[in-house]
Amino acid sequence: MKLETKYHGILNYEEDDIITFAKGLPGLQDLKKFILVDFEENPIFKILHSVEDEEVGLVTVSPFDFINEYEFELKDSIVERLTIKDSNEILVLNTVTLSSKVENITTNLKAPIIINTKSKLGEQIIIDNEKYMIKHPLLRSE
Q: Please name each of the domains of the chain with its CATH number.
A: 2-137 (2.30.290.10)
pLDDT-based confidence at 140, cuts 50/70/90? low
Question: pLDDT tens across 102-117, in order?
Answer: 889 999 999 999 999 9
Question: pLDDT tens across 10-58, in order?
Answer: 999 999 999 999 999 999 999 999 999 998 778 889 999 999 999 999 9
Question: What is the spatial distance between Cα 27 and Cα 36, in angstroms, rounded to a whole number?
Answer: 19
| Residue 141 reports pLDDT greater than 70 | no
